[in-house]
Structure 1
Amino acid sequence: MFTSFNCSLRLGNLVDTLQGLAYSPVFILGFLVNAAALRAIISKRDSRTDTGIYMFNLAISDFTLVLFLPFRINDSFLCLPKTKLCTFLIYMHFINMYASILTTIAISVQRYLVIRGGCCSLTIWVLLGTLCALFQENNCPDKLWKCYERCKNLPLQQQLIVILIVFGFLVPLLIIVFCTSQVICILSKVDEGSEEKKRIVGIVTANMIVFIVCYTPIHVGLLVNYFYKPPPNWIAATNCCFDSIGYYFLLKQFYL
């Protein structure tokens, strides 16, 4: 048993080190790409349009997540003490990830229904902040194994799991797929040579692909962690790079 514990400990240390090494380039790349995306959005004269507001909100969400990655990197190498700071950092990660998800929904819905953007973005942040306040006990220091890791024998509340899986992923996925397909279907009736058509189709298609690639593994991991003994390192933060890379280059075409 003692030998098994030592092996698990060494494996855990190796995983933590690899995790820290993996997050380091994510931080550098995410910082540069998000800074470039923010600069591109702010500098465009059309940045106050509905699409500009959503893109700015998405970039702010991703950039904030990137700014907190050094804490995650530091925890991987030095193991931060379990304090209220850990609870704050976990919920900052939670808020920013779901701000990206809900803003992605808003972009799809806005492209389909042409809705107004500012109030919707504000509602997203208020909704997520309220949700974190209601379920804050799930990530209190006494339920953490490490600063960024919950105790494996203390799963999230069932109500929170349902909210995250159903309303945080499945419903958004259905909305995005529906809106994207409808936009492409409607625009298929437009002149084939229309540059505006190509730009819009490119944005909504990238929107859907980024959502599926970035958020499917995370929510599958949440479900597996709840029902089974979780495999290590399901959740990552690479979406903060994918979002900005995709939208930065698409925005350059859209605003020009």
Structure 2
Amino acid sequence: MFNCNPERNHTEKVMSMFERAAYTPVFIVGLTFNITALCMFCRLKRWTDTHIYMFNLLAADFLAIIFLPFKILDAFCEIKPSILCTVLLCTQYSNMYSSIFTITAISIHRFIAVRFPFLTKALASKSKITAISACFFIWTLIAVICASNYDDLDQIN
């Protein structure tokens, strides 16, 4: 499962050393801040659409941070294609796609609010439902993307 003595060229060795040095502080700081943000969100009494989108970004970052120790392990001992490798790939892409799609949803939401202010004010009660629906759609889309990556890994093995 692990290959701790891989044949690597100079660039791969330098990149591996950088990953070893960078991932550990990113994990410690990221986990600390994500847990702090999660505690702050748990204390909110009234959620707005912005809180829902921000929580979605927090969930994506937390998912990436939780699996970062395995990326650190991969920097020390290369992981051969396996189910763990697929999970790492899936979490990396989940974070990236979730962030991109959520920020896009926020931008569309804000554009509509600026372009149609009276309509937005009239439909303000439905903005939370819209935000929840958008986040649900984003995670469904990400699950489909991850499932297609899993099929690609099966073809490699």
Unaligned runs of 5+ in 1: 1-5, 144-256
- 2:100 aligned partner: 101
* Residue identity opposite 1:76 in structure 2: A
What do residues 5-53 of structure 1 show as CA deviations (whole Å, max 9, x unaligned)?
Answer: x7x535423321221211111111111122222222221222x221111
Measured in 2, the distance between the counterparts of 1:90 and 1:98 equals 12
Deviations 1:77-97 (A, max 9, x none): 122333121012101211121
Query: CA contact under 8 A between 2:90 and 2:149: conserved in structure 1?
Result: no
* 1:26 aligned partner: 26
Q: 1:73 to 1:32 in 2, by over 3 A?
A: same
Look up the equivalent residue of 2:139 and give its one-letter code. W
Partner of 1:78: 77
Moved more, 37-46 or 48-57: 37-46
1:130 and 2:129 matched: no
* Maintained 8 Å contact 2:81/2:153: no
Specify whether residues 128 and 117 from structure 1 end up closer, same or farther in structure 2 by C-alpha distance, changes over 3 A only: same
**Offset of 1:54 from its aligned partner?**
0.8
Alignment partner of 1:120 is 2:134? yes
The answer for the alignment partner of 1:44 in structure 2 is 44
Q: Tell me the amino acid that sits aligned with residue 94 of structure 1.
A: Y
Give the C-alpha shift of residue 141 in structure 1.
Answer: 8.0
Counterpart of 1:59, as a letter, is L
Q: TM-score scaled to structure 1, two decimals?
A: 0.48
The one-letter code sitting in structure 2 at the alignment partner of 1:34 is N
- Counterpart contact for 1:90–1:139, Cα < 8 Å: no
The alignment yields a C-alpha RMSD, in angstroms, of 2.2
* Higher percent of residues as helix: 2
Aligned residues: 136
Which residue of structure 2 aligns with residue 142 of structure 1?
156
Within 2, Cα distance between the matches of 1:140 and 1:19? 27
More contact order relative to length (CA 8 Å, sep ≥ 6): 2
Name the % identity: 35
Distance 2:105 2:15 in 1: 36
Residue 60 of structure 1 aligns with an amino acid whose one-letter code is A
Offset from partner CA, 1:170-194 (integer Å, 9 cap, x none):
xxxxxxxxxxxxxxxxxxxxxxxxx
The residue that corresponds to 1:67 in the other structure is 66
